[in-house]
Chains A and B, each alone.
Chain A
Amino acid sequence: DQQVKQNSPSLSVQEGRISILNCDYTNSMFDYFLWYKKYPAEGPTFLISISSIKDKNEDGRFTVFLNKSAKHLSLHIVPSQPGDSAVYFCAASPNSGYALNFGKGTSLLVTP
């Protein structure tokens, strides 16, 4: 039933290294993908997005890669910083519309 899957509940990375968060989806109608970051006791905030017409989008230390044939996307954070420690949600929507479907999230811990 879960159309967006984040199979790693948690990830620990050393400061300065690369963090790679993965996301898989099952619905081939999804054509717009987003990553949200969530700190404790706060709502999720938008981080970066990618349309299905692209395979890569970069914003500073954050890069999202999309592999449509594999129905897979990943978020790379380079270099990772302690302030990046948060829960990261992958989200997808069909036809560039709404009704965003979210994964369960991956908790990232960046250690000094």
Chain B
Amino acid sequence: DAGVIQSPRHEVTEMGQEVTLRCKPISGHDYLFWYRQTMMRGLELLIYFNNNVPIDDSGMPEDRFSAKMPNASFSTLKIQPSEPRDSAVYFCASSLGDRLFFGEGSRLTVL
């Protein structure tokens, strides 16, 4: 079975540009999470959805960040405009029970 699929794996962009990260959760999972990993803060929860509905977005750092889940098989995390401090690895995870299944991550570098 396919796991959580994220794209792109790597993204290098310039400050001010829009960045869109994509995630396809495991089929049948009803929770989807977006995390950001940095050296300073470790793994931070940004937002999570249940049955495509955002439940808690208190971890989203600023209005520049937005996330959507238009259907059960797709979610996006958008940063507009991007800044160098947004450079990190962004993970998507999905869950049916208490364990999260993570994608391989999207490494974002903002120059």
* A, B: real partners: yes
User: What residues make up the interface of A, taking CB atoms closer than 8 Å to B?
Assistant: 2, 6, 32, 34, 36, 41-46, 49, 89, 93, 96, 98-105
Instruction: Report chain B residues within 8 Å CB of A100.
Output: 33, 45, 100
Q: How far is the CA of A36 from the CA of B102 in the complex (A)?
A: 10
Partner of B104 from the list A41, A101, A103 (CB cut-off 8 Å) is A41
User: What residues make up the interface of B, taking CB atoms closer than 8 Å to A?
Assistant: 4, 31, 33, 35, 41-45, 48, 50, 55-56, 91, 93, 95, 98-105
Instruction: Report chain B residues within 8 Å CB of A42.
Output: 104-105
Instruction: Report chain A residues within 8 Å CB of B101.
Output: 46
**Is there an interface contact between A98 and B102, defined as CB atoms closer than 8 Å?**
no
Say yes or no: A32-B42 contact (C-beta < 8 A), given A42-B104, A43-B4, A98-B31: no
Interface residues of A, dominant DSSP = loop
Interface residues of B, dominant DSSP = strand
Say yes or no: A46-B42 contact (C-beta < 8 A), given A98-B31, A99-B48: no
State how many angstroms separate the Cβ of A100 from the closest Cβ of chain B: 7
Partner of A103 from the list B42, B93, B105 (CB cut-off 8 Å) is B42
**Is there an interface contact between A49 and B98, defined as CB atoms closer than 8 Å?**
yes
Q: How far is the CA of A83 from the CA of B82 in the complex (A)?
A: 37
Instruction: Report chain B residues within 8 Å CB of A45.
Output: 102
State how many angstroms separate the Cβ of A47 from the closest Cβ of chain B: 10
Q: Which residue of A lies closest to B4 (CB)?
A: A43
**Is there an interface contact between A89 and B43, defined as CB atoms closer than 8 Å?**
yes
Partner of A98 from the list B4, B35, B43, B48 (CB cut-off 8 Å) is B48
Say yes or no: A104-B41 contact (C-beta < 8 A), given A43-B4, A44-B91, A99-B56: yes
**Is there an interface contact between B31 and A89, defined as CB atoms closer than 8 Å?**
no
Instruction: Report chain A residues within 8 Å CB of B43.
Output: 44, 89, 102-105
Q: Which residue of B lies closest to A46 (CB)?
A: B99
Instruction: Report chain B residues within 8 Å CB of A6.
Output: 42
**Is there an interface contact between A102 and B42, defined as CB atoms closer than 8 Å?**
yes
**Is there an interface contact between A101 and B45, defined as CB atoms closer than 8 Å?**
yes
